[in-house]
């Protein structure tokens, strides 16, 4: 099926001037009638200009959203939590970044999670993934990758806080991230994108033929890397099947080049499939090696020229494939998006079974359809009616197409598999339908994450926001119901039904997040729930204080210059939303303490004099009076 002609980097609507021309207008009054279906902040749609949003999409003040949306924060290194369909931002969860509001990267508790990676003040989050039981979201964890510093993190969804971060050995830049779906999430799969020498210790610097990358598996409970598989090419995106047997990843740069012309050489790259039971058995049998100082078992999965190995299958697809997405609710197919081809490649998982059973001779025999969808296909998501939705970067569109009809067309029938198209603004990357990565896919909403937004919002200088759009996909035609800016750069998103996430409003006193700090207090003979004490231990001073609006339990304490000071604060308030902050002026120290939480910080008192500390989270009518003094003797 044909697609619209590529009109350049920005969609230019027929009869209208180029979006590259600066314009002075606001409120959508530029003659564009909502720019092909968008809704402005006033709530007008292109289909019904100037009229309010349909009631089904409106969430009134005080009403709760239907879904949690988990958005990657991109270069901010965080994960953002939205309410859907209101698109109200509810929370920013610091992960790999330094966050001065919560004290992430400042407190001892957060530093323990960050580990050695805490030396980095940045991250690049891409693909949030929520854990499963029987391919349904179970609300335990959200996992996220850091492409910038080769890490994977786990977020506890009961408190919306990061509790584990792992640096992946033997690779650079974790981009692909996906999870085991059945019987539950016991494995997390992370693909290294950049190819490097193995080991990367200074050997083979100028010999790219010795550069490789690996797919890694982590234990979801311990977050330890349990195995790795070496592959040909660079790993991009990944997804698992619904049986627990297979993992598929897009794999570009099949010639392992290091310059753009070298990477663009072959006409085809691969979707590489990993045989997970075979890999796990090889590790149990000791059929592996290790690399350098790492003790992680490594399996050799190279062999694309032969179609693969007992551990891997390399399916030729158009050059530079990008998205890999399994189709719910039964997970019968996965779709690889072409990026540089106007096509998507549909692979049937049952035929992957046939390949590994020796019933197929050609890896391409696993392909059951290759529909032409438009220019620049990147990612595909799904509804519960057999339809796929693919983002078209160059066309700035979402295209809706039917999988069964695409298979019929591939087999020679004359059938139109394209169902609908909608313009988005502009250059869409990831997209995700509500519950679309689970058995519960419901076909109600689709989030479109567009990379460019010029002419959409008030100009804020050379730095432009991204544009998130929410699309109603419940009917035959797609309809944009939200259009709004977002801070750079959300790469991917996920929508989980609200009842699938069960959060705590008040911390349990035995929460493992601050258990190490509690254990330290017990060694000092301090009961954090009642004691306010200063413990002096040689050149170290530990100050234990409670907070109960509007007072700190200790309003002054004295230390000597050069002493190492640890301040431990326990919030005794038992009413939700009565949080306190502890800010020590001119020391770069500020952190949160939520009801029944304990937080701590350690620093060297190197400035003689009087130094005030105060509650930095508004908690009480006498909030401004909630303070105290640290007295540092020269």
Q: What is the mean pLDDT of residues 271-277?
A: 98
Provide the Cα torsion 376, 338, 215, 328; round to 10°: 100
Number of domains in the chain: 1
Flag whether 378 is in a domain: no
Task: Flag whether pLDDT at 454 surpasses 70.
Answer: yes
CA atoms within 13 A on the CB side of 199: 10
CATH number at residue 563: 2.60.40.420
Q: What is the mean pLDDT of residues 289-304?
A: 97
By C-alpha distance, which of 545, 516, 517, 543 is closest to 530?
545
Burial class (CB in 10 A: 0-12, 13-18, 19+), 574: exposed
How much of the chain exceeds pLDDT 90, in percent? 88
Flag whether 329 is in a domain: no
CB 432 within 8 A of CB 390: no
In the beta sheet, which residues pair with residue 633?
560
Flag whether 626 is in a domain: yes
Q: What is the mean pLDDT of residues 33-59?
A: 43
Task: Flag whether pLDDT at 10 surpasses 70.
Answer: no
Flag whether 298 is in a domain: no
Rounded Cα gap, residues 147 and 175, in angstroms: 5
CB 582 within 8 A of CB 101: no
Tokens of 552: 């700190």
pLDDT, tens only, 519-554: 999 999 999 999 999 999 999 999 999 999 999 999
Q: Which residue segment(s) compose the domain that 532 sits in?
A: 512-633
Flag whether 580 is in a domain: yes
Task: Flag whether pLDDT at 38 surpasses 90.
Answer: no
Task: Flag whether pLDDT at 83 surpasses 80.
Answer: yes
Flag whether 551 is in a domain: yes
pLDDT, tens only, 97-125: 999 999 999 999 999 999 999 999 999 99
Q: What is the DSSP string of 339-359?
A: SSSSBEEEEEHHHHHHHHTT-
Flag whether 563 is in a domain: yes
Provide the Cα torsion 362, 364, 368, 371; round to 10°: -160
pLDDT, tens only, 200-221: 999 999 999 999 999 999 999 9
pTM for the complete prediction? 0.91
Structure-token match 């019987």, residue found: 183
Confidence category of residue 47, pLDDT binned at 50, 70, 90: very low
- Secondary structure of residue 283 in the 3-state scheme: helix
Element (H, E) at 515: helix 515-523
Structure-token match 């920005």, residue found: 10
**Higher-confidence residue: 29 or 200?**
200
Flag whether 326 is in a domain: no
Task: Flag whether pLDDT at 491 surpasses 80.
Answer: yes
Element (H, E) at 212: strand 211-219
Tokens of 309: 């190995």
- Strand 627-633 to 556-560 pairing: parallel
Radius of gyration from C-alpha coordinates of the chain: 27
Residues in the chain: 634
- Secondary structure of residue 108 in the 3-state scheme: helix
Tell me how many degrees the CA angle 221-94-573 measures, rounded to the nearest 5: 90
Tokens of 239: 């997804």
- Where helices occur in 149-275 by DSSP H, the ranges are 260-263
């Amino acid at each position: 099926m044909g697609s619209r002609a590529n009109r350049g980097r920005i969609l230019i609507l027929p009869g209208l001037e180029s979006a590259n021309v600066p314009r002075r207008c606001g409120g959508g009054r530029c003659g564009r009638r909502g720019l092909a279906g968008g809704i402005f902040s006033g709530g007008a749609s292109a289909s019904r200009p100037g009229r309010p949003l349909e009631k089904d999409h409106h969430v009134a003040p005080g009403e709760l959203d239907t879904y949690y949306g988990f958005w990657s924060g991109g270069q901010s290194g965080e994960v953002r939590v939205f309410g859907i369909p209101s698109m109200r931002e509810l929370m920013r969860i610091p992960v790999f970044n330094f966050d001065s509001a919560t004290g992430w990267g400042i407190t001892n508790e957060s530093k323990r999670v960050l580990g050695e990676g805490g030396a980095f003040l940045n991250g690049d989050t891409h693909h949030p993934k929520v854990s499963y039981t029987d391919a349904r979201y179970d609300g335990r964890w959200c996992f996220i990758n850091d492409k910038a510093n080769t890490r994977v993190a786990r977020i506890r969804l009961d408190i919306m806080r990061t509790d584990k971060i792992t640096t992946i050995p033997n690779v650079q830049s974790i981009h692909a991230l996906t999870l085991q779906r059945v019987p539950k999430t016991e494995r997390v799969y992370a693909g290294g994108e950049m190819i490097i020498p193995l080991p990367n210790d200074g050997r083979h610097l100028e010999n790219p033929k010795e550069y490789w990358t690996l797919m890694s598996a982590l234990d979801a409970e311990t977050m330890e890397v349990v195995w790795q598989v070496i592959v040909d090419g660079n790993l991009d995106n990944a997804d698992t099947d619904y049986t627990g047997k297979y993992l598929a990843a897009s794999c570009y740069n099949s010639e392992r080049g290091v310059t753009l012309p070298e990477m663009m050489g072959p006409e085809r790259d691969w979707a590489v499939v990993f045989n997970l039971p075979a890999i796990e058995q090889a590790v149990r049998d000791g059929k592996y090696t290790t690399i350098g100082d790492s003790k992680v078992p490594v399996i050799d999965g190279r062999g694309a020229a032969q179609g693969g190995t007992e551990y891997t299958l390399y399916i030729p697809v158009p050059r530079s494939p990008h998205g890999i997405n399994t189709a719910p609710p039964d997970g019968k197919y996965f779709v690889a998006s072409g990026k540089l081809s106007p096509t998507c490649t549909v692979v049937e998982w049952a035929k992957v079974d046939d390949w590994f059973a020796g019933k197929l001779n050609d890896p391409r025999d696993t392909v059951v359809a290759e529909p032409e969808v438009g220019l620049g296909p990147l990612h595909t998501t799904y509804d519960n009616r057999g339809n796929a939705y693919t983002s078209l970067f160059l066309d700035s569109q979402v295209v809706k197409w039917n999988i069964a009809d695409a298979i019929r067309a591939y087999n020679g029938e004359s059938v139109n598999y394209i169902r609908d198209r909608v313009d988005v603004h502009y250059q869409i990357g990831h997209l995700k339908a509500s519950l679309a990565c689970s058995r519960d896919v419901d076909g109600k909403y689709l989030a479109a994450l567009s990379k460019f937004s010029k002419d959409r919002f008030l100009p804020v200088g050379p730095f432009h926001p991204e544009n998130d759009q929410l699309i109603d996909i419940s009917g035959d035609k797609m309809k944009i119901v939200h259009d709004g800016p977002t801070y750079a750069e959300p790469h991917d998103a996920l929508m989980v039904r609200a009842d699938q996430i069960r959060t705590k409003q008040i911390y349990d006193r035995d929460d493992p997040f601050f258990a190490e700090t509690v254990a330290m207090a017990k060694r000092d003979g301090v009961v954090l729930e009642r004691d306010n004490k200063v413990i002096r231990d040689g050149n170290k001073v530990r100050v234990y204080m409670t907070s109960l609006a509007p007072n700190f339990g200790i309003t002054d304490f004295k230390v000597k210059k050069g002493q190492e000071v640890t301040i431990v604060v326990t919030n005794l308030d038992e009413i939700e939303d009565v949080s306190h902050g502890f800010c020590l002026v001119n020391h770069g120290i500020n952190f949160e303490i939520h009801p029944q939480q304990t937080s701590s910080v350690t620093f060297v008192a190197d400035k003689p004099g009087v130094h005030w500390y105060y509650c930095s989270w508004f908690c009480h009518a006498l909030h401004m009076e909630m303070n105290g003094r640290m007295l540092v003797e020269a």
